[in-house]
Chains A and B, each alone.
Chain A
Amino acid sequence: MVELSHVTVSYGEKHALNDISLKVNDGEFTFISGDNGAGKSTLIKLLIGDVKADKIDGVDTVVKVNGHDLTTINQRGIPELRRTIGFIFQDFKLIDSMNVFDNVAFVLRSIDASTRYIKKRVPQVIGLMGLQSKVKQYPSELSGGEQQRVAIARALVTNPQLIIADEPTASLDQRAKIETLKLLKEINDKGTTVMVISHEHELIQRFGGRLVNLRSGVITHDIHI
């Protein structure tokens, strides 16, 4: 669950987020949209503990993500928080020198998971994404849609409570865009909270759900479509 209340994040004099409040319940599917500079990236950074909310006298700021209070979290707590979040990057960020299996396993290796667990869990997630036949292939040998599925598998492999997808369809063709969002919906249907950052209004309209729109650091709409 994500709970933000009276959150302001400033870079110098500029408010990237300005007194926003937002609650995303467990199991919800939410689109976050907004133009460049609206505050979407800052919101992501806030949720993963990369930036902190401003401390303002007299304002009771709340930043809670998956049970972690980010107003009081220390440096040691941040890796723990991030292990509850699966992140999908806009440009996939697959590692070119690793095959599909190793790209997915890399996440588990990075959090000190056992080899036995890696060998059990990675094929499961790769299977869920329908990539069994591509296990030994390298990113350069995959289509854009397949690369995105590897990226989703990588986000899923830690069994996160929340998935944040940062413009996951931006570099895909129309068919792959739909396929990707369908996959995210399926993941959401199994109980994982999903937040998709996107400004592709046509796609958002097609899939529906909750839409939170940001402009100049302020939430302008929070609607169900």
Chain B
Amino acid sequence: MRLSSVGYLFRQGVRNIWHNRIMSVASFCILTVSLLLIGFTVLFSANVNMILSSVEDKNEVIIYIKDNTSNEDIVVLGDKLRGTANVSEVNFYSKEQAFADIKKNMTDAEEIFSYLGDESPLPDAYRIRIADIDNMSATLMAINGYENIEKVKAPYDFVNVLTGLNSVITIVSAVILAALIVVSFVIISNTTRASVDMRKREITIMRFVGATKTFIKIPFFIEGLVMGILAGAAAYVLTWLGYDSLISILSSETTLFAAMGVSGFIPFSRLALYTLAGYVAVGAVISSIGTVFSTRKYVKV
């Protein structure tokens, strides 16, 4: 095919979008919403995975010691922990140290701390590391049987919540997405049908003068492709604005997230290129496939 024909067919495709603008806007909107849903699900999962891996890297379990436990018993507990299978590291974390650390992290709560005085209200604790995370449950079960333990706090409670939430969001998104993709195909199909009706006379002439099937169908394919790319670009801009705003709100809650072991979120700049490429590619693929199926149905050559 000649280069001039490629340019001509491209202009025909863009012209279809303009002449058929109401249906085109409908296709564009539904595609953008579908892409946004895909994008935010992927970005949420990426952040969850980052948090999970950072928590796993820390791999730390805190063993709180009962109040009034004697120093000798604390040492005995420490020795027991060191002797426990699958425990790779044991560090004592005194109540005074814990109180100092919390004061350092929560600078905006000085007034509250002033009421508490200098005496730490927190318990003494051991911070231990687990060698093999897969066997963590058995290890923690053994430790729970030791004397003078108030509570065992594994960050995996939070991890489990996060993993569960991630699964739920992924499943719900997949269901909504499947529905949106079906709706997208229906709307794209109707858009193509409207374009075909609009160009019925041209298609008839093209058939009679010996235009090939491909030549007749290409403008519709381009129409879908351009629509998909535009929807991808729009979804990218919306994600950029939405994600950045969300991250700046969440990042202001540093104490809350620090307490949960979350050190931060993935900045959008790190994901920008992948997000843009992903959106444009997925948008173009969904839209083009929809258009190809519809032209097969409506354009009789």
Check B205–A115 contact: CB distance below 8 A: no
Assess the A107–B4 pair: CB atoms within 8 A.
no
Which residue of A75, A79, A154 is within 8 Å of B210 (Cβ)? Answer: A79
Chain B neighbourhood of A111, CB < 8 A = 209-211, 215
Distance in Å: Cβ of B19 to nearest Cβ of chain A: 9
Question: With A93-B201, A93-B204, A95-B201 given, is the CB distance from A114 to B209 under 8 Å?
Answer: no
Stretch at the interface among A81-89, A142-150, A205-213: A81-89
A93-B201, A112-B5, A114-B4 known; A79 vs B208 contact (CB < 8 Å):
no
**B contact patch SS:** helix
Q: Is the CB of A83 within 8 A of B209?
A: yes
CB-CB under 8 A from A109, the residues of chain B are 5, 8
**Separation of A158 and B211 alpha carbons in the complex (Å):** 12
How far apart are A122's CB and chain B's nearest CB, in angstroms?
Answer: 14
Task: Please tell me if the beta carbons of B4 and A110 are within 8 angstroms of each other in the complex.
Answer: no
Q: Say yes or no: is A138 at the interface (Cβ < 8 Å to chain B).
A: no
CB closest chain-A residue, reference B216: A110
Q: Determine if B208 and A95 form an interchain contact, defined as CB atoms under 8 angstroms apart.
A: no
Which residues of A (131-169) have their CB < 8 Å from a CB of B?
A: 154, 158
Pick from A48, A89, A114: contact of B2, CB under 8 Å: A114
Q: Is the CB of B208 within 8 A of A87?
A: yes
Is B77 in the interface zone, CB < 8 Å from A?
Answer: no
CA distance A112 to B210 in the complex (A): 10
Determine if B209 and A107 form an interchain contact, defined as CB atoms under 8 angstroms apart.
yes
Report if A82-B209 is in contact (Cβ < 8 Å); known contacts: A93-B204, A109-B8: yes
Query: Which one of B201, B205, B213, B215 contacts A112 once the chains associate, using CB atoms below 8 Å?
Result: B215
List the A residue with the shortest CB-CB distance to B15: A97
* Contact (Cβ within 8 A) B211 A79: yes
B286 to chain A, nearest CB (A): 29
Q: B1 contacts the other chain (Cβ, under 8 Å)?
A: yes
Given contacts A79-B210, A111-B211, contact A106 B5 (CB under 8 A): no
- Determine if B208 and A82 form an interchain contact, defined as CB atoms under 8 angstroms apart: yes
Q: Which residue of A lies closest to B205 (CB)?
A: A93
Inter-chain pairs besides A82-B208, A106-B202, 20 sampled, C-beta below 8 Å: A48-B208, A75-B213, A79-B210, A82-B210, A83-B210, A87-B208, A93-B204, A93-B205, A95-B201, A95-B205, A106-B205, A107-B209, A110-B206, A110-B210, A110-B211, A110-B215, A110-B216, A111-B211, A112-B5, A154-B205
The 10 tightest CB contacts between A and B, nearest first, are A82-B210, A83-B210, A110-B211, A79-B210, A110-B206, A87-B208, A115-B4, A107-B209, A112-B5, A79-B212
